[in-house]
Structure 1
């Protein structure tokens, strides 16, 4: 088959690339077109409300000022109000439907501005209306919508829906208790205790999240809130303010001076919270559900215990941990049971985590959508059975109010204003419902908004809880302070601490805890928590190896489990830094791993442990053989383990391990593992090479051969001695030695000569061929010397005679 020309191939490739690019562009345009409306709505809001004053109408004739700005291309517009005279909301679900434009409509409208000219595309406006004009006659929440229409076509251009609460000064208005829980948290900035991974804490203290939260805590309404403080935040701020600290950089670390602003922030926070209700979050606000789901119960419990102690020390007041607030107010049954076993008795949860049980035929609200279908009669507390002996009290934050606190209102629009108006309206409606209850205590049933029924008169006092759903939480301090101040001044609200919530309502049938796939997917991942588990085990070993246990890395382990790391990749850098710090500490206690040599079928192998710490350590040493056929540990079971031994600072401890060589020897490896007093592994197992040689048989052969040679030499020596002629005075066949003395009755005469000596002299005389004259040594005179004898003189004895055996010292000289 002929190939097409090269030019043709290039043209085809160009065409294909062009078509592919066009298809991708169309797909991109389609995606852009789908997302464009949402972005456009967020980016360009033609109608922004800037003022609704007062936030609560108290007099029927007092004017209510509404101001705002319209931005658009119309030449002139109408501005009108929509309202429903004499028709306050009865249900929270009606309020939700009105906001979402889902079926609830106002009954009247009033055009306040006619044919207003829009100059340069912008029209500021301000209008005034009284509660009497809007038909407000009783305490309650009323709908209010501001609409802008094109003056020429009459088409709607924009509309804003909000609420007006009317509370006449002369009306009898019931009060309900409102507890607002606010978290003071921050993403961790330290890895190990000595190393800050960034210097962003300074900015947070001066102009960021922590500065804003301090501003709220210092207001009158902020002092009435219940604060949940992360002790790790206080710990980090204290570390920055106490002295010089190290910030990690690409080329090592940079030393920073103590931050005076951090010192002032901590002092101001102590003052602001001195009279407030304060609880301690678990240290570093850990991801409790993720820890429990991955078998890390110990760090979760340790975080709770550590939190109260650190917060109490740094705030200068007693800070309890008796109320546990998990991240987002969400947890599942497994986590609750584990916490209950650990002693937790009260938890603060989001209300839709424990929904009411629906009657037959009713729809069950999807978790996370309860802001659209709010609970009509919220209960602030329920009791939950657990595997522990005691029940756990669940304080339930209202989902709608909590969502209002959570929403980001930091922009330049009217989000903060609308949030304030809705927060007041939601609480006022619940108070008005209580008022209706008190007026008809004998009523058998009342509507719930979904067609169900509820026994009337069972609630004597409604309590409300509001708590942000997201952590870390960065509120707009100005908007939050305005909302809290408005709530504190509302005639139907009484700000109470969280400890007083949940005392009024009777229990309602509820389902079990709702914790779905989306909740699990948001947790810290299994792989990451595997690293946390390994580091936690190593940190425990570091803490327990010293004679006095020193938990150096416990706080750092908790910091890398913070819920703030959900979806944040910076957590990997923190974990690596902590890993390096723990490894450096582990390396201060080492096993000397130089090779060893052992000869023989059994013996001992020395193992040395060096302590380079500045404290005494107590360890155990466990030794195993990695090749028992060449080298076996000579203890039952084949595993050698010492009792606890103490190694002084800067010293080395030697331990001898009994071993045997079952075969012919060779290179073998032993594994040496250090253990803490509790039996936990300290560091990695160290492998040491031992050169084992079975020298026993060779040594026996060498010793046997040497012994045989020595025996043969001795035998030859004895044979030679027996074969040489007897020396003078030596009897044949006798070993050299002194001649036996024969006792005589009479002393020997001067001429007498001992027979033995004479025989010896004769036997020692050389033969004719060997005879040569030699001088006779001088003999002392005495009775035993023969008189008249003389010895011939001659030349010295030949050299060959010098090799003969020496005469014993006690033998008479020749």
Structure 2
């Protein structure tokens, strides 16, 4: 009845309406609550502030200076830095203290200590206190204060020679914790050795001069073939304060082995003598000649009495070649070329004879295939790293770097801890100081290892250190100048050192190669692109009268396409390869057959001209132009054949018109194909097609023409007779004849001729 009443427009009773409203509220309440709760959660979450450091991490302690880095008896140790309050509360009665821990034994204990953070009650030593403190009445939230602590080394109570942990802490009070407690601490290491050791560790430190590729395959059109750079970014690295300038300036004062990419030298030498820089679709004159000259002069002086190792030209990626490239035919031949070019480039630019017997895979990571590729170009020494060629014999000490790995090859194993010591951000003084102190501590701990013989240790840092990293490395090496526990050694001598009989010589399997490094390798497609470019270059150079003007710049560009510097930059690597291939193709296209319009033959025989254009800046030779008739029955070439050939030789910037004899047999159209070939039969460039329209003169037509000629002759005789009679009668006679007929139109092909065309005409560019 209720439904009937509603349908009839009669409203429900008051009691029923109350029941409905109550039910709706009960049912809808959870939904409303849910809707309100959904946006509330993110809002609350967005309002939560980042976690504020508390406890012993409230204050950040930065150690910017530890001087001297490795003190001796009688020195005064100075530790300077900054404390920063990262907490919410103001710190009162703040005091900065110096803490000296107990001696650490072994490099593992140094690694463990370096990972500790925060204050450990009972684990950290007591502060020196006394006069060796710095106090601040207040340290407000977010503010920093500098400090300097100086203490005589004799007051540190150092015992036996070795590595000691050194800490700087800040103690104070806050409103929430009104009592003295440690609010921040930073630890470092203090190497301690009073006198020179009887047995010192030989340290070989590699000093790499390597840069990314900047030179393109393009050269200017002048006689000097001025190289064209993709950009002028290299100048910033060579300028005062730049990365490469710092490497030379710092390295000149250090006992290091220079490891140089010859491509860098070639590029800077080009800058010094004249270069151009790409700017959109054109090039502009480079302006940093003076910077390049100064850098080269400084480098030549720095290496004059030093050991120099030359990597293969452009520092090819050995791992990429081994894992992705060696199955692409011709890839390994580029490594051989790059190795041969290395020595001559260094000698020409720096006037020193380098060693070219070393291969340096990325991060010293090796496997059997990498070693095979590295030695395929003549290298007999491979710079590996101890985290790749790990010790498995349970040695209690670090063995000498050199060790035989079979086939007459020596692995020179660099120490992973020391080689990676300066890979972080060294632009901040605090980070640099900690890295330097740890490096020194590790070298001293290594020298203290239980062995009776002197060992040779190699340090191979990152390939392209930043300026800040180079400065940190130099600081660490200068701290070893006094030679208390180390002495310098060149890489060549380190490779010739007597190997440790107990050291590992087993090359790790390919499956053990680091996945991160493998993911950064050049893809197989890169080597296929390089192969394609090389094939085009080979076909192009054989037609040139001066092939060396093309072979050298493109050969170097191909080597750069395999450079280790492309790791982590796949897009830039692809763009560089594409630019080399595109520019080469543009040069190839400068020698081409000029498109030809259709030809009409109005006789049995004629000549067909085909024009070849050379827009290059040098002559071309050893080319053959082949013309082919697709219907030799209708139109044949070369005394009855379907194909005719003519040798091509054209001067720079000229074109040549080549004439082919043709004989027509049947009326109609014939498709013709013109194609250039090198002398070995390889097609050069694309085909050019055109049509020949044959209009052969038939016997019937000849009869008609003969009849017409006969009529003309008879008409002429009649006219002559009439004139003669008129003259005889003494009267002028009209010639009565028809006007002279125009001659047949001249055909667009010349009569049959075998005379060669002239040497060519100048091409307007």
Q: 1:115 to 1:131 in 2, by over 3 A?
A: closer
Partner of 2:509: 512
CA deviation string 1:408-457 (max 9, x = no partner)? 31224x12211111111111111111xx333xxxxxxxxxxxxxxxxxxx
- Give the C-alpha shift of residue 647 in structure 1: 4.4
Q: What is residue 442 of structure 2 aligned with on the other side? A: 426
CA distance in 1 between counterparts of 2:51 and 2:447 reads 39
**Unmatched 5+ residue regions in structure 2?**
1-31, 220-226, 711-765
Structure 2 CA distance for aligned equivalents of residues 659 and 375 of structure 1: 90
In the TM superposition, what are the counterparts of 1:50-449 in structure 2 within 5 Å?
Answer: 50-59=64-73, 62-72=75-85, 73-85=90-102, 87-89=103-105, 91-101=106-116, 109-113=125-129, 116-121=135-140, 122-128=144-150, 136-151=158-173, 152-153=178-179, 155-169=181-195, 172-191=197-216, 192-193=218-219, 194-206=227-239, 207-219=241-253, 221=254, 224-243=255-274, 245-250=275-280, 252-257=282-287, 259-292=289-322, 293-294=324-325, 295=328, 296-357=331-392, 376-385=397-406, 390-412=407-429, 414-433=430-449, 436-438=450-452
Whether the 8 Å contact between 1:88 and 1:142 is mirrored in structure 2 is yes
Find out whether 1:590 has 2:606 as its counterpart: no
Distance 1:146 1:304, change over 3 A: same
Contact 1:174 1:432 (8 Å CA) reproduced:
no
Following superposition, the deviation at residue 578 of structure 1 comes to: 4.0
SS in structure 1 opposite 2:412?
strand
Q: 1:480 aligns with which of 456, 473, 485?
A: 473
Give, in whole Å, the separation in 1 of the partners of 2:526 and 2:426: 33
Query: In the TM superposition, what is the alpha-carbon distance from 1:83 to its structure 2 partner?
Result: 4.6
2:747 aligns to what? none
For residues 390 and 661 of structure 2, what CA distance do their matches in structure 1 show? Answer: 67
1:619 corresponds, among 614, 619, 622, to 622
Aligned length: 636
Q: Which residue of structure 2 lines up, in the alignment, with residue 492 of structure 1?
A: 485
TM-score (norm 2): 0.70
User: Hey, what's the Cα distance between the residues in 1 that align with 2:481 and 2:648?
Assistant: 65
1:174 Cα deviation from its structure 2 partner: 1.6
Distance 2:662 2:137 in 1: 99
Q: Contact 1:82–1:107 at 8 Å: present in 2 too?
A: no
SS of the residue 2:127 aligns to? strand
CA deviations on 1:713-768 (whole Å, 9 max, x unpaired) are 99xxxxxxxxxxxxxxxxxxxxxxxxxxxxxxxxxxxxxxxxxxxxxxxxxxxxxx
- Deviations along 1:270-310, one digit per CA (max 9) or x if unpaired, are 11111111122222333343345233323333222222222
Distance 1:38 1:233 in 2: 48
Q: TM-score, normalised by structure 1?
A: 0.67
In structure 2, relative to structure 1, the CA distance for the partners of 1:189 and 1:596 (3 Å cut) is same
Hey, what's the Cα distance between the residues in 1 that align with 2:375 and 2:353?
Answer: 23
Q: Distance in 2 between matches of 1:27 and 1:602?
A: 96
1:789-808 CA distances to partner (integer Å, 9 max, x unpaired)?
A: xxxxxxxxxxxxxxxxxxxx
**1:28, 1:525 → 2: CA distance?**
45
- Per-residue deviation, 1:203: 2.4
Worse-superposed segment, 296-305 or 175-184: 296-305
Deviates more, 1:122-131 or 1:545-554: 122-131
* Partners of 2:366 and 2:513 within 8 A in 1: yes
Give the Cα–Cα distance (whole angstroms) in 1 for the partners of residues 78 and 198 of structure 2. Answer: 24
Shift, 1:605, TM fit: 7.3
Deviations 1:177-216 (A, max 9, x none): 1000011122333323432232333322223112211211
- For 1:265, what is the secondary structure of its paired residue? helix
Report the counterpart of residue 566 of structure 2 in structure 1. Answer: 565
| Offset, 1:651 | 5.6
Contact 2:426 2:472 (8 Å CA) reproduced: yes
Distance 1:225 1:631 in 2: 80
Q: What is the CA–CA distance in structure 2 between the aligned matches of 1:396 and 1:27, rounded to whole Å? A: 56
State the match for 1:49 in structure 2.
63
1:716-731 alignment, distance < 5 Å: none
Q: Distance in 2 between matches of 1:598 and 1:559?
A: 52
1:163 deviates by 1.5
Q: Which secondary structure state, in structure 1, belongs to the residue aligned with residue 451 of structure 2?
A: helix
Q: Residues 656-702 of structure 1, C-alpha deviation per residue, up to 9 Å, x if partnerless?
A: 88999999975646372533x677665xx31222426687xx76xx2
User: 8 Å contact 1:139–1:173 — kept in the other structure?
Assistant: no
1:398 CA drift (Å): 0.9
Per-residue deviation, 1:107: 5.7
Give the Cα separation in 1 of the matches to 2:75 and 2:464.
Answer: 41
RMSD: 4.8
> Could you tell me how far 1:255 is from its partner in structure 2?
2.6
Unaligned runs of 5+ in 1: 1-14, 360-373, 439-459, 715-814
Query: Contact (CA 8 Å) 1:186, 1:472: kept in 2 or not?
Result: no
Instruction: State the distance in 2 between where 1:546 and 1:312 align.
Output: 30
SS in 1 for 2:479: helix
